[in-house]
Amino acid sequence: MLHMLIATIPVLGPLFGGLENMMKHVLNFFHSSVGLTWAWSIVATTVVVRMILVPLTIRQLHSMQSLQQHAPEMKRIQQKYKQDKQKQNEELMKFYRENKINPAASCLPMLLQIPVFIALYYTLKHFETNFAVGKHADLSFLHFIPSISDGTTAHWGGYVLLVVYVASQMASGLFMAPTAQKSQRVIFMVMPLVFVFVIAKFPAGLVLYWVTTNLWTVGQGLITRRLVQRTPAPATEKRSSRTPAKEDESTAGNGASPEPTAPTPSPAATGKPRQVRRKKSSGRRR
Amino acid sequence: MSVVLRVPRYAGIGLVWAWRLTFGALFPTSCKYEPSCSEYALQAVRRHGLMKGAALAGWRLLRCNPWSHGGHDPV
């Protein structure tokens, strides 16, 4: 299915080829220079990537918190300089600087993770040709996965890995959004059960990557949760006293279900704040 | 609205969560907008259905690039 999708976009072929090549070198480094087995090389690559991302994660966590706290003020700035976009941007940037919000973060570059994932997929799929390993190369993992380049369901060990995957995915889902609504928690529980059928056809090494990254997320979530408990956020005070109306926007996954449908905004108009759904005072938050 | 008519938007919401739980988990909360892009997508799909919601979310994603300025931007 993936191949067909990729074949439809001609630019992607060479791009993925390059990414596959890069992934190949990284895995090769861990295998040949560090001396890990191929399976552990995948784990090591994942862990290193997540370790590199930790400072970024923390910074972004902070900037997200302050974005939520300052939503009403940003709205005020945007409305005040509605006519003058230039001035509005200047004021917003100033506001970001004052409140240490990182405006460099953005979602579009994050979509680049998908090609990276696909690179790993292809690297594992073409494993034998990529690394010129013989039939007797050790591609096993912890004695229960005979080969990371085989389909996950090719051996009973793969099913064990899939169970671990489902569990870790559910756990990481719960850690990602502790304030999620009940319906969203249901999605957390159901999504992995749907995914598992897609993933079962992937090479076992890819599932291994996924399990590793999930476990990292859980560990990171446990640690941040503890840290957050130890240091009560001073922002909570500020929010409740100064900005009473912001509850609505900030609540993670706060559905818009009970509200009347707002007049449909044209995409171009969404940059401007609208006032329709502000005062919905539900004390639901935390 | 009947459950059948809501199926497409459930699919859309599921897709957003698929993103959040997989790749999104690698870079949590790195959006310059409030609400974040994925939250925006969820709200847009819930309110306007899959087609229009997806279009709105796509437009928002394009706006969420290193050259834009972020800020408060509800659906």
A43-65 per-position pLDDT tens digit: 998 898 888 777 766 766 666 66
Domain ranges of chain B: 3-72
pLDDT of residue A176: 63
pLDDT band at B25 (very low <50, low <70, confident <90, very high): low
pLDDT of residue B56: 93
Check whether the bond before A258 is cis (ω within 30° of 0). no
pLDDT mean values, one per 10 residues, chain A (286 residues): 60 76 89 89 88 73 71 83 79 76 67 73 80 73 83 86 90 67 71 84 88 87 71 46 45 41 44 48 44
Angle at A222 between CA A217 and CA A228, to 5 degrees: 115
pLDDT of residue A265: 46
Cβ-Cβ pairs closer than 8 A, A with B, add up to 156
Cα(first)–Cα(last) distance of chain B, in Å? 21
pLDDT band at B47 (very low <50, low <70, confident <90, very high): very high
C-alpha–C-alpha distance, residues A169 and A83, integer Å: 46
**A166 inside 8 A of chain B by CB:** no
**A106 inside 8 A of chain B by CB:** yes
Q: Which amino acid is at A119?
A: A
Give 3-state DSSP helix, strand, coil % of chain A, rounded to 5: 70, 0, 30
**Beta-carbon contacts of residue B32 (< 8 Å; ≥ 6 apart):** A63, A67, A101, A102, A103, A104, A105, A106, B64, B68, B69, B70, B71
C-alpha–C-alpha distance, residues B20 and B49, integer Å: 20
Nearest to A270 among B39, B47, B60 (CB): B60
Tokens of A32: 């040949």
Cα(first)–Cα(last) distance of chain A, in Å? 42
Check whether B45 has a pLDDT greater than 90: yes
Q: Which amino acid is at A80?
A: K
Check whether B16 has a pLDDT greater than 70: yes
CA distance B43 to chain A (A): 7
Which residues of chain B make contact with A177, given a CB cutoff of 8 A?
20
C-alpha–C-alpha distance, residues A119 and A131, integer Å: 15
pLDDT band at B30 (very low <50, low <70, confident <90, very high): low
**CA A229, chain centre distance (Å):** 23
For residue A185, the chain B residue with the least C-alpha distance is B17
Check whether B44 has a pLDDT greater than 90: yes
pLDDT band at B52 (very low <50, low <70, confident <90, very high): very high
A238-248 per-position pLDDT tens digit: 444 444 444 44
Nearest to B34 among A50, A71, A265 (CB): A71
**A184 inside 8 A of chain B by CB:** yes
Nearest residue to A208 (alpha-carbon basis) of A129, A121, A132, A136 = A121
